[in-house]
Structure 1
Amino acid sequence: MPLSQNWGLTENGFIAPSYEEVLDSVEDDFISKFGTDIVLTSNSNFGILARLIAWRETLMIQELQKNYYSAFISTAIDTSLDRVGSNIGVGRKVEHPASAIIEVTTDGEYLIEAGETFETEDGYVFELERDITTTQQPDGSWKGTGWVESDEPGAMYNVEANKITLESNPDDNVLSVTNPEPANGGQDYEDDETYRARLLEENEAKPGPTAWGMKSALIELPGVRDVNPVENDKADADRWGNPPYSVHIYVLGGNDNDIANVIVNHMAAGITLVGSKAMDVQDATGNKRTVHFDHAIDKPIYVKVKVNVNENWNDDEGADDIKTAVADYINHLIIGKTLFLTRLYPLVYGVNGIDEATIMIGTHQGTLGGNDIVNDINEAVGCDTNNIEVDINGV
């Protein structure tokens, strides 16, 4: 019988027939043109031609269907999703290096030239952007501060405070180095799933002067994982520790200057911002404004997973699959969200070959347990796969 006309763009969306339906239609057309006595088996001439035509038509229809779905946030992929995002002014986050302030202590006055590299014990390398000249402090020591940037992009370079402690090329005149505050701004390339979720959220709360519009604008910055604008819209003094009629913006990750500039360009007139960070930036009129905010506390999570496995366990990839699944879930939790231990079990059991599992979590490697991790309005959890231990047949 002929192919149903109820395909293509309909009131229910784009309907695509299956290959079998297209083939049936082509074979019916052959029979109507050449008679009922033709042979349409897969190894006959007519059969081969029918299948070739049906396959080409199916591919064409599938491309038309992809073109239709590429116009929507929920179904677009790859560059089509980028184009949909550009239509609402929200671009995909690309890879970006992390930066940090380092403090260097030297043996007397000393010049450290730009280009010198420093690193963490894990081997994450940062390059000095400008010269540092140490000066004498009231306690008699010689110190200087400088700006470093990771030699490669990626969120992994957003290291905690006091982790950049090594000079790549040791110098006897340099007594110590450290980063008093965490490195920030490091960004991985944003995959389709993450980008799509952000587009859906920002399409509801577009960048603007409202608290949640401010969140929408800030979350576009490289390295920013989440934003929590806490509004005290009451006359109650010190509600959540904030004065009456104020907004306290907590930002997880990101560069201080970038954050301050976004806030000053989107804040409403008369709004009272509070926070321990005070950044002086120019607004659109060229006037200097002082912007207050705080970084959310990023609580590192350590995980130990003990599993008993069976013959379906993959010795090469099983442990890494567990680590990736657990870390991805934890890193997608927003500010203030509780990390429930029970939510991790389906992720672990979702890996093939596991008969039994026991999971322990904690904010310190030496104090793991079975309790949930509860977060305040200014706290969030994060997890590096290096902080996850998988013990095979350890249950």
Structure 2
Amino acid sequence: MSFGLSRNGFKRKRYADVFSESERRAKEMFGEDINTAAWTPVGIILRIHSFTVAQLWQETENSYNSGFVHKSEGKTLSGVAMNQLVRRRPAEFASGVLNFTGDEGTEIPEGSLFSNDDGVTYRLAERVVISEDTTDGTVVALEAGALSNSPANTVTEIDTPVAGLDEVTNLQAIAGGRDEETDGELRDRYDRSLTSGGSPTTNGIRAAVLSVEGVRTATVIDNTTNESVNGRPPKSFETYVLGGESEDIAREIFRRRAAGIEAHGDELVEIEDDSGNIVPIKFSRAEEVQLDIEVDITVNNEYPSNGHELVRSAIIEYIGGTDEDGNIYTGLQTGQDVVYSRLISIVHRVPGVASVDSLTLNGESGNISIDAIQVAQTNYEQVVVS
């Protein structure tokens, strides 16, 4: 058997291969009757040697695999993906709104800190003055990641004392925090980017927009005719996006669009090019199709105490939206239908679910059709499990 690098790739020697070869050579040198059992001095030496050599073969294989997106991992994968200008998404910070109660006129300085019972701390992004006993202010988590999300009414600790401030809470979940993009997520996005090749195609523009922090789904529809189609001017394209900051989205569209082709849409962002010229870039927000879901299940003894929460989270993760803990799931992409049988299967995956007796989407049992410019969404308040 051929080991090492060949036209068929790289094949490493495993421990069993190395030991077999070492044992064969030992018998060639010392005779066929030499004892190589695990408890003998020769056997111990052979096994130590074989283990060390097998590790070297493993590291050599890892080095070979580091040049391939679907075999490399971690920082090595990040470097390989950058060859296609695909950057790993960093961890993102959760943000939301706190409601302050206290004496009218009380000023809460920008940078004031508040936290939940788990020790997750949030910084006030703007100066707030309490009006008529209560007012709101935007906060951002100090640390990025999914753990920076907080369910409603959990951020109640005042870490920066302010005279006249009595209470604080978040009436809605603080959301948007997510962990650094995993290797699997990066590989999937890399594969989508291969269709772009750096060119101003619809796939290329979509791949660029999907790389923007906070963007959960995107689609690009072009009009290649010399007439207006569905409100799109001749020779133009329209990008529909869910999530992300408008300026960041516009910059990626500008970077990938072809010169002379109009970027059409409802939102306008002016981008300055290298020559100092102002280029109007437009795009539209994807229409969200909100789904109210009711599911009735029969359970057995394996069903956990938090089973209803697990069912609800599984549904939200499939469709997309905000869970009670503030985690935002990407879910289905723009234009993807909600498949009824798929939802039934997902609910059945929760331990202890014996049967799904009924499941309705906006009061109906069956698939939900989603147009090309739409995206299905739901949240923890819209999913009722019983």
* TM-score normalised according to structure 1 size: 0.72
The partner residue of 1:243 within 210, 233, 237 is 233
In 1, Cα distance between equivalents of 2:261 and 2:156: 44
Asked if residue 68 in structure 1 is aligned to residue 92 in structure 2, the reply is: no
Deviation at 1:37, TM superposition (A): 1.6
SS at match of 2:215: coil
Deviation at 1:273, TM superposition (A): 2.3
- Gap change, CA 1:47 and 1:154, over 3 Å in 2: closer
Q: What does 1:303-314 align with in structure 2 at a 5 Å threshold?
A: 307-308=297-298, 313=302
The aligned residue for residue 373 of structure 1 is: 368
The aligned residue for residue 212 of structure 1 is: 203
Q: What does 1:356-395 align with in structure 2 at a 5 Å threshold?
A: 356-358=355-357, 360=359, 362=361, 367=362, 369-382=364-377
In 2, Cα distance between equivalents of 1:344 and 1:243: 39
Deviation at 1:59, TM superposition (A): 1.9
Deviations 1:89-125 (A, max 9, x none): 22100012366899x9xxx999875346899xxxx99
| Count of residue correspondences | 360
Moved more, 269-278 or 75-84: 269-278
Deviation at 1:372, TM superposition (A): 1.9
Which residue identity lines up with residue 250 of structure 2 in the other structure?
A
- Gap change, CA 1:34 and 1:379, over 3 Å in 2: same
Contact 1:112–1:132 (8 Å) recurs in 2? yes
Which residue identity lines up with residue 210 of structure 1 in the other structure?
T
RMSD, matched Cα: 4.5
SS at match of 1:82: helix
- Gap change, CA 1:323 and 1:14, over 3 Å in 2: farther
In 1, Cα distance between equivalents of 2:122 and 2:374: 27
The aligned residue for residue 187 of structure 2 is: 196
- Gap change, CA 1:342 and 1:40, over 3 Å in 2: same
- Gap change, CA 1:158 and 1:215, over 3 Å in 2: farther
Deviations 1:125-168 (A, max 9, x none): 9755455899xxxxxxxxx9997645554579899xxx99x999
Asked if residue 94 in structure 1 is aligned to residue 85 in structure 2, the reply is: no
- Gap change, CA 1:355 and 1:150, over 3 Å in 2: same
The aligned residue for residue 253 of structure 2 is: 263
Q: What does 1:38-117 align with in structure 2 at a 5 Å threshold?
A: 38-97=34-93, 114-115=110-111
Asked if residue 35 in structure 1 is aligned to residue 25 in structure 2, the reply is: no
Which residue identity lines up with residue 54 of structure 2 in the other structure?
T
SS at match of 1:291: strand
Contact 1:114–1:130 (8 Å) recurs in 2? yes
Deviation at 1:326, TM superposition (A): 4.5
In 2, Cα distance between equivalents of 1:13 and 1:386: 52
The partner residue of 2:21 within 14, 19, 25 is 25
In 1, Cα distance between equivalents of 2:63 and 2:358: 44
Contact 2:298–2:357 (8 Å) recurs in 1? no
- Gap change, CA 1:18 and 1:283, over 3 Å in 2: same
- Unaligned stretches of 5+ in structure 1? 135-143
- Gap change, CA 1:184 and 1:211, over 3 Å in 2: farther
Q: Percent identity?
A: 26
The partner residue of 1:282 within 266, 272, 275 is 272
SS at match of 1:97: coil
In 2, Cα distance between equivalents of 1:53 and 1:14: 22
- Gap change, CA 1:19 and 1:154, over 3 Å in 2: closer
In 1, Cα distance between equivalents of 2:338 and 2:84: 33
Which residue identity lines up with residue 9 of structure 1 in the other structure?
L
- Gap change, CA 1:156 and 1:33, over 3 Å in 2: closer
Which residue identity lines up with residue 374 of structure 1 in the other structure?
S
- Gap change, CA 1:270 and 1:11, over 3 Å in 2: same
- Gap change, CA 1:324 and 1:27, over 3 Å in 2: farther
